[in-house]
Amino acid sequence: MNTPVISATGLWTPPNSISNKELVDSYNTWADNWNREWAADISAGLVEPKTHSSVEFIEKASGIKSRYVIDKAGILDPDIMAPRIAERPNEQISVLAEIAVNAARDALERAGRKPEDVDAVLCAASNMQRAYPAMAVEIQDALGCGGFAFDMNVACSSATFGIQTAADFIRSGSAKSVLVVNPEICSGHLNFTDRDSHFIFGDVATAVLVEEENIAPVGHWKILGTKLKTQFSNNIRNNFGFLNRAAPEGIDAPDKLFVQEGRKVFKEVVPMVATMISAQMDELGIAKDGLRRMWLHQANANMNRLISSKVLGREATDEESPTVLDTYANTSSAGSIIAFHKNSGDFKAGERGLICSFGAGYSAGTVFVEKTA
């Protein structure tokens, strides 16, 4: 059986960043305008007034301080409160494919690969720009890769599910080099007029090149083991879809964007993920002190703190559980890959770490890796 490894990762970061203060100022202006418009109904007790957001509230609730976005102007305009990304003609590369290509080229360059060396492309992300043709096939074409390509969506766990799928292709001999791309334009599904969630997401694209060990570059990462888990829950949901037009009464309703029951998610996901990680460490014979670093899903600093403490039996240091959430916010499936990409260069041969995702579904994925010489 062939042995899959991670040869390289890639990252593309949008040029625009929004601070918490900028986001709060925009939201509070919108809320004030809304309250004025609905003043009569508020006075009559028919609707509740919109309350202000604050920088302190956001940082305490999430650990987020800023986020990168494709479009900044529309999000911060109190009369729009959404990104404005122009629709492109079919003859031009779509925006989701374009950012995926940028991340993919970064990964290929780091691995010393040409696009034609790649046998398969998987676009693993929480939202696809269209139903068909598959985003992955457009990305494959734009890069100039051969073989086959397809899309997959497991929300925040798309990247780790994609890595295991790629690894399985390597093991079976179906491919020698598989490119997993994670283009996440999360600002597109975020309700910027919802105080409880308007700060959560950012935009980014990442890529992971999974290859057969005997062709991998020096300094690659052995995949020691992967595990995937799903458990149905409505606590994180987005009901946007192709059947919305068949029920026009629901078009533009709040549930056609990201909605969640945050406290329930925290309570249910933390023990599920911590137990899953610990169980696989036992299966792989990895002791607590044998795991140098955990690159966890970047959704909430408090969740990561609790998960890492349950796994290690103590609070993890910043080095053991690095954070990119503070500057990138929640980038769905890309978060743990950004953390790995930015915080793995100091590993020595033989040191081990964990890439871990969790989120809507519920879904969770673990990828234990070991650095090679």
The pLDDT, as a whole number, for residue 15 is 96
Instruction: Spell out the residues 6+ positions from residue 34 whose beta carbon is closer than 8 angstroms to its own.
Output: 50, 193
- Write down the residue that tokens 């599910």 correspond to: 161
HEC per residue, the chain: CCCEEEEEEEEECCCEEEEHHHHHHHHHHHHHHHHHHCHHHHHCCCCCCCCCCCHHHHHHHHCCCEEEECCCHHHHCCCCCCCCCCCCCCCCCCHHHHHHHHHHHHHHHHHCCCHHHCCEEEEECCCCCCCCCCHHHHHHHHHCCCCEEEEECCHHHHHHHHHHHHHHHHHHCCCCEEEEEEEEEHHHHCCCCCCCCCCCECEEEEEEEEEEHHHCCCCCEEEEEEEEEECCCCCEECCCCCCHHHCHHHCCCHHHCCEECHHHHHHHHHHHHHHHHHHHHHHHCCCHHHCCEEEECCCCHHHHHHHHHHHHCCCCCCCCCCCCHHHHCECHHHHHHHHHHHCCCCCCCCCEEEEEEEECCCEEEEEEEEECC
Residues 359 and 181 sit within 8 Å (Cβ to Cβ): no
Q: What is the pLDDT of residues 68-94, one digit of tens each?
A: 999 999 999 999 999 999 999 999 999
In a domain, 115, yes or no: no
Q: Give the pLDDT confidence score for residue 113 in this predicted structure.
A: 97
pLDDT for the residue 62: 94
Q: In sequence order, what are the residues at sequence separation of 6 or more whose Cβ sits closer than 8 angstroms to the Cβ of residue 181?
A: 100, 103, 104, 121, 122, 123, 124, 125, 136, 139, 205, 206, 207
What CATH number did the domain enclosing 281 receive? 3.40.47.10
- 240 belongs to a structural domain: yes
pLDDT band per the 50, 70, 90 thresholds, residue 196: very high
Give the integer Cα–Cα distance in Å for 162 and 124. Answer: 6
**274 inside domain:** yes
- Per the structure, the complete domain to which residue 333 belongs is given by 221-371
Query: Tokens 């595990």 — which residue?
Result: 227
241-295 tens-digit pLDDT: 999 999 999 999 999 999 999 899 999 999 999 999 999 999 999 999 999 999 9
- Kindly indicate the confidence band of residue 57, based on its pLDDT and cuts at 50, 70 and 90: very high
Please pick, among 123, 145, 156, 186, the residue that the annotation labels catalytic. Answer: 156
pLDDT level of residue 1 (50, 70, 90 thresholds):
confident
CA distances from 71 to 17, 67, 238, 255 (A): 9, 11, 21, 23
Is residue 63 one of the residues assigned to a domain? no
Q: Are strands 177-185 and 148-152 parallel, antiparallel or unpaired?
A: unpaired
Instruction: Kindly state whether residue 349 falls inside one of the protein's structural domains.
Output: yes
The neighbouring-strand residues paired with 229 are 364
Q: Tokens for 47, please give them.
A: 């609707």
CA–CA dist 27, 197 (Å, integer): 11
Q: Of the candidates 111, 109, 108, which has an alpha carbon nearest to the alpha carbon of residue 140?
A: 108
Query: What confidence tens digit (pLDDT) does each residue in 336-367 have?
Result: 999 999 999 999 999 999 999 999 999 999 99
- Per residue in 91-146, pLDDT tens? 999 999 999 999 999 999 999 999 999 999 999 999 999 999 999 999 999 999 99
Look at residues 101, 92, 362, 80 and name the one whose alpha carbon lies nearest to residue 235: 362
Q: Is residue 199 in a domain?
A: no
Mean pLDDT of 152-161: 97
Instruction: Give domain status of residue 264, yes or no.
Output: yes
Confidence at residue 277, expressed as pLDDT on a 0 to 100 scale? 98
Q: Is residue 5 part of a domain?
A: no
Looking at residue 111, its pLDDT comes to: 98
Domain count, the chain: 1
pLDDT tens, residue by residue, 298-321: 999 999 999 999 999 999 999 999
Please tell me the pTM assigned to this model.
0.95
- 356 tagged catalytic: no
* Rounded-to-integer distance, Cα 109 and Cα 305, Å: 34
Do residues 350 and 371 lie in contact, with contact meaning Cβ atoms separated by under 8 Å?
Answer: yes
